[in-house]
Amino acid sequence: MNPDYRLYHPKWHRRRIPIFWWLGKRSYIRFIARELTSVFVAYCAVLLLLQTWMLGRGEAAYARFSEWLASPPLVGFHLLTLLAVVFHTVTWLGLAPTALVISVRGRRVPSRAVLLAHYAAWAVASGVVAWALLGGS
């Protein structure tokens, strides 16, 4: 008889969750990867703030900053960041139709339509930003 057991008292067992619980299933790995890419999204925000701050410190400071940005290791890291952020965006947009369920005149708007609308909005926003940055008249 197990000395820890007391008669008529249910002795429940809870397993210890392994630290790398998410390595057990492909869907969990994808989930964690998706969540980790938000670090890169945060990095982009920080980068933008840095750029703004450097602009405020004058042309010389900004020029040094731009030079640093152009260095090969940073370019490589930023390529990785771009991939991560695109992955994040695509997975985020992919989840939008699940949350946004709309009915128009009694019929449900299909998920594909909602998704495409989001992609369209992304394209338009990117287009506007690109036009602004690349010297639109």
Q: Which residues bind another protein (CB under 8 A)?
A: 1-2, 4-5, 7-15, 17, 21-22, 24-25, 27-28, 31, 35, 95, 98-101, 106
Beta carbon nearer to another protein, 62 or 92 = 92
Exposure of 49 by Cβ count < 10 A (0-12 exposed, 13-18 middle, 19+ buried)?
exposed
| Backbone φ and ψ of 104, nearest 5° | -115, 120
Rounded to 5 degrees, φ, ψ at 108 are -75, 130
C-beta closer to another protein: residue 27 or 52? 27
Query: Is the CB of 101 or the CB of 113 nearer to another protein?
Result: 101
Our CB check for another protein shows the closer of 28 and 131 to be 28
The two three-digit tokens of residue 20, written as one number: 């790398």
**Both tokens of residue 36?**
């980790």
**Measured distance CA(26)–CA(28) in Å, rounded:** 5
Do residues 11 and 5 touch, judged by C-beta distance below 8 A?
A: yes
* Cβ at position 25, least distance to another protein in Å: 7
CB of 23: closest distance to another protein in angstroms?
12
CB of 40 to another protein, least distance (A): 17
